[in-house]
Structures are given as structure tokens and as C-alpha cells.
Amino acid sequence: MTTTYHSIKLRNGFNVAYVQAGDPTKTKTTLLLLHGFPSSSNQFRRLIPLLSDQFHIIAPDLPAFGLTTVPDDFEATFDSLTQVVADLLDALDIRSFIPYVFDYGAPTGYRLALKRPDAFKGLIIQNGNAYEAGLSAWWDPLRQYWTADKGSKEWLDIRDKLAGAIELKDAKDQYVSGLSSDLANQVDPNPYTLDYLLNLAPGKKAQRQLDLFYDYQNNVKLYPQFHEFFKKTQLPTLILWGANDQYFPLPGAHAYLTDLPNAQLNVFEDGSHFLLETHVEQVARTIKEFLQKEGLA
């Protein structure tokens, strides 16, 4: 099926870029693909053609990412990201879907679930965390950022240090850390270079990313509510995890099974954070088989 690229003006000055594929009149399932840091819908560029023969697909660029544009007074928080996704779904008249959540897409998707639980028909989770067990030591500097008094010298010093860490090499690390040299050499450098230019470059873009780093603490505070949603709904759930993720380690994948004991967990032992860069065919095949088994295809 043909993949098409769109933008739509929403309320309050947001212009959301999104990718669409598949025929909604010929399938009962829409997949909502929610990307992570530091990427955009571009991270799904290879997955979408492998799924669009069976499913309708919507993949937006979240505010502060990709080609989505935001008003000058935009405050980069996960609550605002979630509201824009909700507004997009309303504008496109999408009433039900299965999200594919990755990295930042996980708390965005789960916040949406708290607002619209009936819209969720299943979950596809790929290296998207919702448990303390899934936060690696990489998060320790961010925890210091969260606990320092906002606006204090300590807080500003931490923020400056974090700003210095948002560089092209850090974008690359998100894609290749944890991979063998053979797999790392298979990762196309164009996506993480584009991520840096679109989302991390010094100035307002970088400041918004630092704001999201700070606001991530509020996702952690919502973990108990996310867990309650999982327990209450027991949605058909597929968990896909690159075992060598340096940011969201494997215990975070297993933690889901405490609340979703019937979930299907597929661990890719040689995979890492950006699993689609190295295992997209296997991921697509697993998704199709799972949704077929659950009667959702």
C-alpha cells in the first residue's frame, strides 16, 4: 500500500505532520505509531510498508519533533504531547486503535489511555518503559535534575551539562549503543543525523528537549496509574524488546508481566534500543502473527 505524508492544522497553533498508510475501509484495525526520543515518525519508515497491506496506519511527529510545528509559547511537557495526539485523532475521526509505543511514545500513549481507555484495542510495546525496574543508570543525571530546586544554581548547572550532552554523537548512541559492531554497521546514519538537525540542534529545539527531560519525572509519578490501567483492561499485549538497550534495560520488559500476565514477550537477544533499525522484518512478522492470533487483523 502507498505511504502518504500529510500535515493538519489543529487548535492553538499546532500543525501536525503525520504519515498514513493502508486502507481504513478494508481493515478493522488502525495502528497508531508513537515514536521516541530523539526521532520522529521517520523511525517507522521501514516498518510501515511491511504492515500497511493489512492495517491502517497513522504515525504522527510529536510536538517538538520532526516536521510538526508548534506555537511560540508551546510548553514541552508530556501532557501537551498527549493532548496534541488526542486532537489529531479527533480531527481524523479515529475512535479506536492499537498503539505501537516506543521510548517517549510509551508515556504519551499511556497518558492517552488514562483519558480514553475505551479507544485502546490492544498494545504493542517496543522498548517503551513504565516501571522503575526499566530505568537504567543513564537516568541518574536526570534524577538529579528532577530533585534539584527548579531555577536554582544547582538546577541550572545540571541543565547546562545536559545541554552539552545533546549532540550528534548522542543521537547516534541512541541508535547503536548495545549493538555488536556488525549490527552497528548496518544502521543507516541518515536517520540519527536528521534527528539531530530537526530535534536537538542548539537553540529553541534543544531547550524543548531539556524541558521534556525535566518533565519525564511526571511520567514516573504516573506509573501506578499506568499499572492500574494494564491490570484493569488486560488488553491483548505484545512486548518487543531489544535485550541490549542501554536506556530501558530488559527488566523493564519483564515488569509488564506482573500486571499483564497474558502478554506475549519477544526478546531480541542481539537487539538494542532502536530495534527497527536492525530487526524490522522480524518485528513486522511478529506483529502480524500476534494480531492475527488475537483476532485483530
User: Active-site positions?
Assistant: 273
Pairing of the two strands 264-268 and 123-126: unpaired
CA distance linking residue 46 with residue 53, whole number of Å: 13
The answer to whether residues 276 and 35 touch, using CB atoms and an 8 Å cutoff, is no
CA distance linking residue 204 with residue 98, whole number of Å: 33
Which alpha helices (H) appear in the chain, and where do they start and end? 48-51, 78-91, 105-115, 140-147, 153-165, 168-176, 181-184, 189-195, 204-221, 223-233, 251-259, 276-293
User: In degrees, to the nearest 5, what angle opens at C-alpha 42 toward C-alphas 229 and 160?
Assistant: 80
Cα dihedral across residues 88, 27, 46, 139: positive or negative:
positive
CA distance linking residue 281 with residue 295, whole number of Å: 21
